[in-house]
Structure 1
Amino acid sequence: MARSVDERFDEIERLLAELRREVAAQAQEPRPRGKGPDLVAAAEQWVRGLGWDETFDEAMVGEELSIIERRVHSELDPDERERLLQLWRALRAERFPAAA
């Protein structure tokens, strides 16, 4: 038997109320926090990138790494910092042999 129009409207209102409750419940749940930016990846990307030239020295590269650390609110491990400096030295010698 077919339902009346009033029964259909009641069903629609019930479904809308249920949907509103679900949406409100989801809005109250805390959002999962992401890991945030990866400090090592950001620093390595800068070292491998083209943001520096033959005029850069180790002190300037160290300053840039410190800037990245402040932006990400984290610190590089000393071993990781040394690895990045070695990578920079190798790239500098490759890109600018006269400056190395």
Structure 2
Amino acid sequence: MDISTIAGLTISGLSLVNDLGNTIKDLRSWSEQDIEVDSDWLRLAISKGVLDGSEADYAWLLEKRLPSMELTGTHQAVVAVNTDKRIKYRIFLGNLNQASGRCILVRKL
């Protein structure tokens, strides 16, 4: 395995791959919750640096359309993470009681 040096630290590719695998495995074990936001949230999140890009990079998509859009490779759900509580949040616009009509925040790819 190739060994690299970054800022005086020796890093092996094997260690990097192992750490990345453990991080992904750890994220998969986190609980998932939905969070409802209002229509101003996206604009404010971009202006405060919570999200990068512009409003044109994002869209509110009907939740039931998300699987198809992810399969086409054009959109991906935005997920917020709370590392202290180990929770991943999907961001929704609308009423949480009307699952068929909820819009989820997605990033255009």
Which structure has the larger Rg? 1
Q: Same fold (TM over 0.5)?
A: no
Under a length normalisation based on structure 1, what TM-score does the superposition of the two structures give?
0.26
Name the one with the larger strand percent: 2
Name the one with the larger helix percent: 1
